[in-house]
Amino acid sequence: MVEYKLDRVYGAIADPTRRAILSELAKGEVNVTHLAHRFPISLNGVSKHVKVLEGAGLVQRRIRGREHWLRLNAKPLRDAARWLEHHREFWNARLDALEKFLTR
Protein backbone atom coordinates (compact mmCIF):
# COMPACT_ATOMS: atom_id res chain seq x y z
CA MET A 1 0.00 0.00 0.00
CA VAL A 2 1.23 3.50 -0.81
CA GLU A 3 1.84 5.41 2.42
CA TYR A 4 2.10 8.86 0.91
CA LYS A 5 -0.14 10.76 -1.42
CA LEU A 6 0.73 12.65 -4.56
CA ASP A 7 -0.79 15.86 -3.22
CA ARG A 8 1.63 15.77 -0.28
CA VAL A 9 4.58 15.15 -2.60
CA TYR A 10 3.62 17.98 -4.94
CA GLY A 11 2.88 20.26 -1.99
CA ALA A 12 6.26 19.47 -0.46
CA ILE A 13 8.23 20.14 -3.62
CA ALA A 14 6.30 23.35 -4.36
CA ASP A 15 8.56 25.21 -1.94
CA PRO A 16 12.04 26.23 -3.21
CA THR A 17 13.70 25.68 0.18
CA ARG A 18 12.36 22.14 0.38
CA ARG A 19 13.55 21.45 -3.17
CA ALA A 20 16.99 22.72 -2.16
CA ILE A 21 16.95 20.43 0.89
CA LEU A 22 16.10 17.49 -1.36
CA SER A 23 18.99 18.45 -3.65
CA GLU A 24 21.35 18.40 -0.68
CA LEU A 25 20.01 15.04 0.48
CA ALA A 26 20.45 13.63 -3.03
CA LYS A 27 24.20 13.98 -2.39
CA GLY A 28 23.96 11.64 0.61
CA GLU A 29 22.87 11.30 4.20
CA VAL A 30 23.37 14.44 6.30
CA ASN A 31 23.05 15.52 9.91
CA VAL A 32 20.19 17.99 10.47
CA THR A 33 22.48 20.56 12.10
CA HIS A 34 24.95 20.44 9.22
CA LEU A 35 22.10 20.70 6.75
CA ALA A 36 20.77 23.79 8.53
CA HIS A 37 24.14 25.56 8.15
CA ARG A 38 23.72 25.37 4.37
CA PHE A 39 20.61 27.56 4.42
CA PRO A 40 20.00 31.19 5.41
CA ILE A 41 17.25 30.19 7.85
CA SER A 42 17.25 28.95 11.44
CA LEU A 43 17.63 25.34 12.52
CA ASN A 44 13.98 25.51 13.59
CA GLY A 45 13.01 26.69 10.10
CA VAL A 46 14.92 23.87 8.44
CA SER A 47 13.34 21.38 10.86
CA LYS A 48 9.86 22.55 9.87
CA HIS A 49 10.68 22.07 6.19
CA VAL A 50 12.12 18.62 6.93
CA LYS A 51 8.92 17.61 8.73
CA VAL A 52 6.87 18.51 5.65
CA LEU A 53 9.24 16.42 3.52
CA GLU A 54 8.97 13.54 5.99
CA GLY A 55 5.17 13.81 5.88
CA ALA A 56 5.34 13.39 2.11
CA GLY A 57 7.60 10.34 2.48
CA LEU A 58 10.50 12.12 0.76
CA VAL A 59 12.87 12.11 3.73
CA GLN A 60 13.77 9.38 6.18
CA ARG A 61 15.22 10.19 9.60
CA ARG A 62 17.61 8.04 11.60
CA ILE A 63 18.52 8.96 15.16
CA ARG A 64 22.00 8.07 16.35
CA GLY A 65 22.57 9.24 19.91
CA ARG A 66 21.58 12.90 19.98
CA GLU A 67 22.08 13.38 16.26
CA HIS A 68 19.34 13.21 13.66
CA TRP A 69 20.48 12.00 10.25
CA LEU A 70 18.40 12.50 7.12
CA ARG A 71 18.39 10.78 3.78
CA LEU A 72 16.37 11.10 0.62
CA ASN A 73 13.66 8.60 -0.21
CA ALA A 74 13.28 9.04 -3.97
CA LYS A 75 10.41 6.57 -4.42
CA PRO A 76 7.66 9.19 -3.96
CA LEU A 77 9.37 11.39 -6.56
CA ARG A 78 9.52 8.49 -9.02
CA ASP A 79 5.84 7.76 -8.42
CA ALA A 80 4.96 11.43 -8.99
CA ALA A 81 7.03 11.44 -12.19
CA ARG A 82 5.22 8.30 -13.40
CA TRP A 83 1.87 9.96 -12.75
CA LEU A 84 2.94 13.04 -14.72
CA GLU A 85 4.30 10.90 -17.56
CA HIS A 86 1.04 8.96 -17.80
CA HIS A 87 -0.95 12.17 -18.08
CA ARG A 88 1.52 13.72 -20.51
CA GLU A 89 1.15 10.72 -22.81
CA PHE A 90 -2.63 10.84 -22.49
CA TRP A 91 -2.86 14.53 -23.39
CA ASN A 92 -0.28 14.29 -26.16
CA ALA A 93 -2.36 11.55 -27.79
CA ARG A 94 -5.55 13.60 -27.40
CA LEU A 95 -3.95 16.74 -28.81
CA ASP A 96 -2.44 14.80 -31.73
CA ALA A 97 -5.89 13.41 -32.53
CA LEU A 98 -7.40 16.89 -32.36
CA GLU A 99 -4.70 18.27 -34.65
CA LYS A 100 -5.36 15.52 -37.21
CA PHE A 101 -9.08 16.20 -37.05
CA LEU A 102 -8.63 19.95 -37.50
CA THR A 103 -6.20 19.65 -40.42
CA ARG A 104 -8.46 17.44 -42.53
Count: domains in the chain: 1
Q: What is the pLDDT of residue 4?
A: 52
Q: What is the pLDDT of residue 38?
A: 95
Domain that holds residue 13: 6-102
CATH number at residue 98: 1.10.10.10
Mean pLDDT, the chain cut into blocks of 10 residues (104 residues total): 73 97 97 95 96 97 96 94 84 78 86
pTM > 0.85: yes or no: no
Is 1 inside any structural domain?
A: no
Is 22 inside any structural domain?
A: yes
Q: What is the pLDDT of residue 2?
A: 53
Q: CB under 8 Å to 21, separation ≥6 — which residues?
A: 35, 39, 46, 49, 50, 53, 59
Q: What is the pLDDT of residue 94?
A: 78
